[in-house]
Structures are given as structure tokens and as C-alpha cells.
Amino acid sequence: MKTYDFKWSDLGDTEQGRPNLGTEAPVAIYRLMQFTLKDVLSRQLGLEKTCELLARAGELAGREFCRNVLNTRLPLAAFIADFEKKLIDLKIGILRVESADMQTLHFTVTVAEDLDCSGLPVLGGAVCNYDEGFIAGIFKEFTGRDFTVRETDCWAMGDRTCRFDIRPSGG
């Protein structure tokens, strides 16, 4: 195998595979995988390239999440409400829309209690590259347009929530 082509079905049947331990794991274990992967990749590729790749992986995850978990037949406002609910139901984070321009598709959202960084010490920079891609992928899958998502506030920068600026690419 020269490349790996992810499909949602690759996630398997976790209920069948984990009948005793269940389908959930502690946030610290998720972070252990993410941050050790980031460490190893950054030593091989540099931090900038690693962050870019994490964002691209997040975008793929966001597109697949949107296709398989969210209701893409809803109007935009209802779709975002569904997105908010699913993030809470799946214990990914608490999404809140701070501002929304439905005409230009420019949004500012916060994600509290997120998997990636809530509770981290101050590290001197934003760390939610995967989340940037994840959000961009969801919006891309729903609208058919590319999006640029930038984290402007992060626990790792001393903030108490993550804030993201979302806008169509080139806009």
C-alpha cells in the first residue's frame, strides 16, 4: 500500500469491538495521541509543515463528519444548530456562534471545553490546527466552497475558550 485512503467505514464498529470498555476514552488519551504525533512529525518535518498537515487531516475529518453525522439538507441556520448539538452530544466541545453574516458566510465561533486544548497550560501559541481544518471541512462539505479558518484565541495562549474566524477562502 503506497497511500492510505480514509473512508468513514474505516472507523469500524466500536460497539462490537469494545463490548466491555465502551465507545469512549478519556480526553487525556486523545491528547496523548495527538501531541505525540505532533512532536514526532515536527521533528521530521518542522512545526509549520506539521501544523499544516494537522489542519489538512482535520479538514478531511470535518468533511467526513459532515457527510456521516450532520444533516446537510437543512438550511444554513438549522445546519449550524445541528452542528452545535452534535458537538455536545459527542463530547467534542461546546460551539457558540458569536457573529454570523449569512450573506458573506463570515462567522466567528467559540468552542469551549474542546478536546484539543481546554485546560492546557499557556504554551505561547494556538494549538488547535486540527480544529481549524475540522471546521473548514464541515463548512466546505456543506456549502461546496473552500473556507479559511483561523484560531484567534486559545487556552494555550491564556484564553478560556477557543475562538475561530471562519470565512470563504479568498474573501
User: What pTM does this model have?
Assistant: 0.95
Average pLDDT over residues 64-79: 97
73/171 Cα distance (integer angstroms): 25
Q: Is the pLDDT of residue 133 over 90?
A: yes
Q: Is the pLDDT of residue 1 over 80?
A: no
Q: Do residues 153 and 78 touch, judged by C-beta distance below 8 A?
A: no
Domain boundaries, the chain: 8-168
Banded model confidence at residue 171, pLDDT cuts 50, 70, 90 = low
90/114 Cα distance (integer angstroms): 11
Q: Which CATH class is domain 8-168?
A: alpha beta
Q: What is the pLDDT of residues 6-25, one digit of tens each?
A: 999 999 999 999 999 999 99
Cell numbers placing 6 = 480514509
Q: Give the model's pLDDT for residue 2.
A: 83
